[in-house]
Chain A
Amino acid sequence: MLSKLCQRAFKKSIWVYHANSGGCNGCDIEVLNVLTPYYDVERFGIKLVGSPRHADVMLCQGPALRSTAKALERAYQAMPAPKLVFAIGSCACGGGIWYDSYSVIGPVDKVIPVDFYVPGCPPRPEAIVYGVAVALGLVDKKVAPVKLKQLEFPIARYHPEDLECKDDMVVYTKLDRI
């Protein structure tokens, strides 16, 4: 549904703003790479811009850090709606290998809402191009969505409040509830 919405909301060329909130630079240069001859995203009308005020899409790299969280939030607020946020790389998606360090808040979605995730450390340029293309509805997803359904039969549940001590043994007092 979101990709259909994207096709309507982002009909024209999308302009991209990239914000590194504290990553190692690896994802940055892969993002730069997709702009250059071998991957050339300009054929899709995608262009990097210098200000969040001109951007439709923000690419976030690196975990959210205490020192940059506020600046990242301001950059997000400066983007005009409709806007999309991509988390590029393991750090932005899940916090990376320093997810619980004292100066790291965690994944970017703890600070700003994230719409799409492109994992990898760093993600290959192809992965970034593919992620953006899927999000914009330019190509179809190659993975079938998995739908989870509630099972119909009730699953027996363990009720610790029904446990009782009897002569060195622990027994259930209401066996029917198990």
Chain B
Amino acid sequence: MSECSCTESKKLEKPLVLKIEKIVDEAKDFKTFIFRHRLNAKPGQFVMLWIPRVDEKPFSVTYQDKERFALTIFKVGPFTQKLFEMKEGDKVGIRGPYGNHFKLEGKNVVLVGGGCGTAPLGFLADEMKKIKADVNFIVGAKSKPYLLYLHRMKKSGVKTFVTTDDGSFGVKGFTTELLKTFIEKNRLDKVFACGPEVMLKHVVEMCLKAGIPCEVSMERYMKCGFGVCGQCCVDNSGVRVCKEGPVFSAKKIKKIAEFGKYKRSASGKKVKL
């Protein structure tokens, strides 16, 4: 690699074409794509991933060190299907990082990840460990094969607590039920969450009620990723999930009227959640 790769990289507004250095089977329908590039992202930020001649979609950064970053991706549709067919050494375009990020604060914190929402919190857990926080990670999935990062978290000293919908691993039930116990039994400084919006809505309500600072990351259909196309603007404030978000404090998210209710599709049409 040339010397310039060591210097601070500028934010990429045009896709930078990178080779997929490594692909890891993370869980059922989850793969982690590792790239060699100093991204300088912060937990909660995302990149736009371009497959030439196919499409481009936003993905949260889920791991980062000084030379690499990774995206753990869940297979949901034609785009991710295409991505899952790619091999190590294949090239994709990356631009970003975009959006705001989680505030790294609190000594005793809980992370709540539901389904693929667990992915960006993996990066957050790493960074919170670096500032010596006591990190408790509630990982929720529909069943055992879909669970993410249990080994990775154990290695870095993060305490994990698992819930599955069918009880095939950990506690049978929802992440929010575990969070409730946490709130009752501990003095928490902060709660971070990412996952299905119904889950986020519960997390937000619980934290507001208990007076615990809370940040959640939400998802909306994005086209440009840098705040011009207006596709991800939410009702009623009009703020851009790609620019003012995707991370919102519980207080701010309460002002987003569509939160937990509906989102907009690629055409701009409202779709019920």
The reply to whether chain A is a binding partner of chain B is no
